[in-house]
Amino acid sequence: MAGLGASISEADLDHLNIEEYLTAESIHEAPKKLQLSDLLNISPTLTEAAGAIIDDSFTRCFKSNSQEPWNWNIYLFPLWCLGVMIRYGFLFPLSWWIVFFAAFLPVRYFWTENKKWKRKIERTLVEMMCGVFVASWTGVVKYHGPRPSMRPQQVFVANHTSMIDFIILEQMTAFAVIMQKHPGWVGFIQKTILESVGCIWFNRTEAKDREVVTRKLREHTQGADNNPLLIFPEGTCVNNQYTVMFKKGAFELGCAVCPVAIKYNKIFVDAFWNSKKQSFTMHLVRLMTSWAVVCDVWYLEPQYLRPGETPIEFAERVRDMIATRAGLKKVPWDGYLKYFRPSPKLTERKQQIFAESVLQRLEK
């Protein structure tokens, strides 16, 4: 009872404090009945405020984590500088391009005698180049589970943090990946090198590309000699703390789905590529000038469509497996909404405007 009395007295004090801000007429005035017009008048303001201020679960999926500086002291800074010189001067991939193209281009365009050996050498060279990239980040990657093999009627699906996901997986097994077309030097590599391992390109803004990609996927999974097919069903890069909805395309091919869970340790660098704020070139430079990229990769048990299960339910079941293994939080959002949201600068500006308007009202 003493506790109840205390809570009542606190409520009375709050009531007295509130009355200080109210006029005498408003205190004694009978409460009005809330009209629909009142809600309609205030709803735009509330919607604007909620959209500008609330940090929702969708926005958090694509936020980069701020890195605390750990190497700016007298003990670690010299070692950090030494690591930067080694990565730039010795392991930086540009110094390997000449050697790689000297070996790859003759095999790609001039070797026509034995196609089986040609494909095998091309796969080996692509794996080697991806290994050089991983070495340039001082990559520490631990693989768990059996290494993928070349079999028909199978597709590998993985959560997606950056384009380096493909490089990390490719250095172990020459996957044929489904990837968005890119301009610049990345597009050049796609056309001249990655097509040799059977990669399939698409443009998410072209509706016709979806039908072509679906047909190519079915054809690829039927070939016994084709490289394993790799798909990132989220369709966009997520910050390795969350996982967004999986697209159902990979789950309606009628073949085994092999989940792959990728988890990065952010102790040295955040591997998330925020494409709205940073080019992929600068993303690679940031990784190469960090101390190390630490990562775990789990190859999980193949999964099959169960009787009575829809492709969407199948995709959710596989997403559950990946999220559990990699310690990711599931959110019910479509990752493609990322491309239709306003820019962070516009959102921050609207937050500032709304905060200033609230402060002005409080000061009156």
pLDDT at 329 over 50: yes
Helix (H, G, I), strand (E, B) or coil at 200: strand
pLDDT at 54 over 60: no
* Confidence at residue 8, expressed as pLDDT on a 0 to 100 scale: 41
* Confidence at residue 94, expressed as pLDDT on a 0 to 100 scale: 57
* Confidence at residue 294, expressed as pLDDT on a 0 to 100 scale: 93
306 contacts 314 by C-beta, under 8 angstroms: yes
Confidence of residue 322 (pLDDT cuts 50, 70, 90): very high
Which of the pair, 91 or 251, is modelled with greater confidence?
Answer: 251
pLDDT at 107 over 50: yes
Instruction: Tell me how far apart the alpha carbons of residues 55 and 354 are, in angstroms, rounded to a whole number.
Output: 15
243 contacts 58 by C-beta, under 8 angstroms: no
Q: What is the mean pLDDT of the chain?
A: 75
pLDDT at 70 over 60: no
Instruction: Tell me how far apart the alpha carbons of residues 157 and 234 are, in angstroms, rounded to a whole number.
Output: 9
Instruction: Tell me how far apart the alpha carbons of residues 120 and 362 are, in angstroms, rounded to a whole number.
Output: 71
180's torsion region: left (phi>0), alpha (psi -120 to 50) or beta? beta
pLDDT at 321 over 90: yes
* Confidence at residue 204, expressed as pLDDT on a 0 to 100 scale: 64
Which residues, at least 6 apart from 210, have a Cβ–Cβ distance to it below 8 Å? Answer: 202
pLDDT at 37 over 70: no
pLDDT for 167-198, tens place per residue?
999 988 888 888 887 778 778 888 777 877 88
Global confidence as pTM: 0.69
Instruction: Tell me how far apart the alpha carbons of residues 188 and 193 are, in angstroms, rounded to a whole number.
Output: 8
